[in-house]
Amino acid sequence: MPNALDRTDKALLCALQGNARLTVAELAESVSLTTSPCWRRVKMLEESGIITGYQAVLSPKELGYGVTAFVSIMMASHSQELARSFEQRLLEIPEIVACHNVSGRYDFLLEVVARDLESFGEFAREVLQTLPAVKEIYSSFSYKSVKPRREVPVEG
């Protein structure tokens, strides 16, 4: 599907990544379309799975989360059953804001928010270390977010 995207589709994707609250009229104007074709194109991008949803970007700091940690986890076992159980459990933990199954020494990389270092320590001991098949945990802490917005490049 990405090869089928024309310049207008790409402009729509860029505009929506910049501000998903644009009205159809504002979006249409920004890409030099009328509203009906603009709406149809956005619907097509949604139905094709290129646009997977819309959400507000929240400030962890303003919500009381002063610590962001990147936690690498090594699994004791790599069985499919344990991996599924582990991944399902991660989805239930709100402090884990992102998770990737990665290559290298560790198996998973988590992004975790916590109120402060003490609460992160408690979270690591009481939640992360009790997850199924966790062998080793390594944490790094963010001093500041240099690029907080996650935008996927749209090839021009």
Is 67 in the same domain as 121?
yes
Q: Is residue 76 part of a domain?
A: yes
99 has which bridge partners? 110
Q: Is residue 152 part of a domain?
A: no
CATH of the domain at 21: 1.10.10.10
Angstrom distance (rounded) from CA 65 to CA 57: 14
Range of the domain at 41: 5-46
Which residue type sits at 36? S
Is 72 in the same domain as 93?
yes
Q: Output the tens digit of pLDDT for each of the chain's 156 residues.
A: 455 899 999 999 999 999 999 999 999 999 999 999 999 999 999 999 999 999 999 999 999 999 999 999 999 998 899 989 999 999 999 999 999 999 999 999 999 999 999 999 999 999 999 998 999 999 999 999 999 888 899 986
Is 83 in the same domain as 109?
yes
Per DSSP, helices labelled H in the chain are: 7-18, 24-30, 35-47, 80-91, 117-126
pLDDT score for 1: 45
Number of structural domains, the chain?
2
Write phi, then psi, for 83 (nearest 5 degrees).
-60, -45
Is 69 in the same domain as 111?
yes
Is 77 in the same domain as 108?
yes
Q: Is residue 98 part of a domain?
A: yes
